[in-house]
Amino acid sequence: MSPSATTTNLLGLPRPTLEAFVAQLGSKPFRARQLMQWVYKRGEPSFERMTDLAKAFRARLSECASVQPPEIIATRHSADGTRKWLLRADGSQAFETVYIPEPDRATLCISSQVGCALDCAFCSTAQQGFNRNLTTAEIVGQVWLANRELAGTVGDLARERAVTNVVLMGMGEPLANFRNVVPALDILLDDFGFDLSRRRVTLSTSGLVPQIYKLAEHSNVALAVSLHAPDDGLRNELVPINRRHPIAELLEACWHYIDERNGRSVTFEYVLLDGVNDSRVQARALAKLLAGKPAKVNLIPFNPFPGTRFRCSPPPAVQQFRDELIRRGVLATVRRTRGEDIDAACGQLAGRVLDRTTVRLGSRTFGLAVQE
């Protein structure tokens, strides 16, 4: 029997839950903080090596608890330093995590679900449909694993910068997995957990309006919203959830979040699609929605994938769109594409590996077909 069947995985337990667990074993609550530091700050999975904990307590933990990150199925390294891990969900299902090093930071793009139910027209994850929500352990386990791999404790990888920023922009819609995502955010921010500042953790949503209000009650991480169109007609086509929660409602929720959480601004993601949403008129319409608001726009060059009907906007169109926004007082940046050679760029993550579509995607992505 695997240890997971018999022991409690401490990875993913928020501090109050871990304190209750520790108390059950007859220990003081502050032991939970010590444990968290070992697990998250030092990346230590073995209770035996947690030398400032009493021997008897360590022995008890070894019997009934474990630190179990997801299993790595494959690792890819991009020429630009980007790294991608394919992680096992269950059996044939997998999800992905992407590490993006930059001179002043190292960002980890993590997944919140296996697949996605939202069916955005230009996203490759949508093509594989929805499989299941990731658990809190699987969500924080991505950061835990990345740090451990980067520290060179496994294999002979050179030591690299630990994760400084986390973005929930991998596979899945994080607000559709609210129950598991919020405790994961708590652990990312906890002083005894990963201890990241709230400005270095960004949740990206396609616009689940009621859950944005709910998030404002439970967390204060940075918010990014996948807008992609300046009017409801087009957004209904590109981001179908818009039919339920149109742009005006979505923007209200965003401003509420900023007020409530004392945030600086919401980042609006806008994938530029050639001839679809990249005209000067559309840039003006977008500026009209956002000028004078706590907003900035992140323009994303479209990353094509097999079977898509969209094309990337040519660089002059991207430039024109950005200039038009700036001229109208809206902060706008263009996202540099990273990890393209390993299909790690936005919207290219496709983790499922066994059915017909994904054997194709999987072998293209990893140069190997993963079999059970």
Q: Binding residue for ligand SAH (CB under 6 A) from 57, 192, 302, 321?
A: 302
Residue 312 known to be catalytic: no
Residue 127 in the binding site for ligand SAH (CB under 6 A): no
Is 265:84 a contact under the CB 8 Å cutoff?
no
Residue 180 in the binding site for ligand SAH (CB under 6 A): no
Tell me how far CA of residue 34 lies from CA of 37, 56, 108, in angstroms: 5, 15, 25
Q: CA angle, 346 as apex, 369 and 100 as ends, to 5°?
A: 90
Q: Binding residue for ligand SAH (CB under 6 A) from 131, 142, 206, 358?
A: 206
**How many other CB atoms are found less than 10 A from the CB of residue 170?**
26
Considering the complex, what minimum distance in angstroms separates the CB of residue 45 from ligand SAH?
29
19, 96, 149, 269: the active-site residue: 96
> With CB under 6 A as the contact rule, which of the stretches 67-75, 185-193, 300-308, 314-322 interacts with ligand SAH?
300-308
**Given CA atoms 102, 121, 352, 360 in this order, what sign does their dihedral have?**
negative
Q: Binding residue for ligand SAH (CB under 6 A) from 38, 99, 122, 257?
A: 122
* 60-67: long-range contacts, CB 8 A cutoff, minimum separation 24: 60/25, 61/25, 61/35, 63/7, 64/7, 64/8, 64/25, 65/7, 65/8, 65/9, 65/10, 65/21, 66/3, 66/4, 66/7, 66/8, 66/9, 66/10, 67/9, 67/10, 67/11, 67/39
Residue 66 in the binding site for ligand SAH (CB under 6 A): no
Considering the complex, what minimum distance in angstroms separates the CB of residue 15 from ligand SAH?
26
d(CA 287, CA 174): 27
**Residue 225-244 contact track with ligand SAH, rule CB under 6 A, x = bound:** -x------------------
> With CB under 6 A as the contact rule, which of the stretches 179-187, 190-198, 203-211, 285-293 interacts with ligand SAH?
203-211
Residue 202 in the binding site for ligand SAH (CB under 6 A): no
Is 231:279 a contact under the CB 8 Å cutoff?
no
Helices 178-189 and 15-24, axial angle in degrees (round to 10): 90
Q: Binding residue for ligand SAH (CB under 6 A) from 19, 269, 278, 324?
A: 269
**Tokens for 290?**
């956002």
**Residue 79-108 contact track with ligand SAH, rule CB under 6 A, x = bound:** ------------------------------
Measured from the CB atom, the residue of 181 and 300 that comes closer to ligand SAH is 300
Residue 305: which of 129, 168, 111, 125 has the closest Cα?
A: 125
Residue 116 known to be catalytic: no
Tell me how far CA of residue 186 lies from CA of 190, 192, 219, in angstroms: 6, 10, 8
Residue 271 in the binding site for ligand SAH (CB under 6 A): yes
Considering the complex, what minimum distance in angstroms separates the CB of residue 294 from ligand SAH?
18
Measured from the CB atom, the residue of 113 and 136 that comes closer to ligand SAH is 113
Residue 277 in the binding site for ligand SAH (CB under 6 A): no
Is 120:206 a contact under the CB 8 Å cutoff?
yes
> With CB under 6 A as the contact rule, which of the stretches 49-57, 131-139, 200-208, 211-219 interacts with ligand SAH?
200-208
**In angstroms, how far is CA 365 from the centroid of its own chain?**
19
Q: Which residue is nearest to ligand SAH (CB)?
A: 347
d(CA 254, CA 263): 10
Residue 201: which of 166, 164, 162 has the closest Cα?
A: 166
Q: Binding residue for ligand SAH (CB under 6 A) from 61, 169, 221, 332?
A: 169
Residue 133 in the binding site for ligand SAH (CB under 6 A): no
**How many other CB atoms are found less than 10 A from the CB of residue 317?**
17
Considering the complex, what minimum distance in angstroms separates the CB of residue 2 from ligand SAH?
31
Give the active site residues.
Answer: 96, 346
Kindly list the residues in this chain that would bind ligand SAH in the complex (CB under 6 A): 122-124, 169, 173, 204-206, 226, 269, 271, 300, 302-303, 346-347
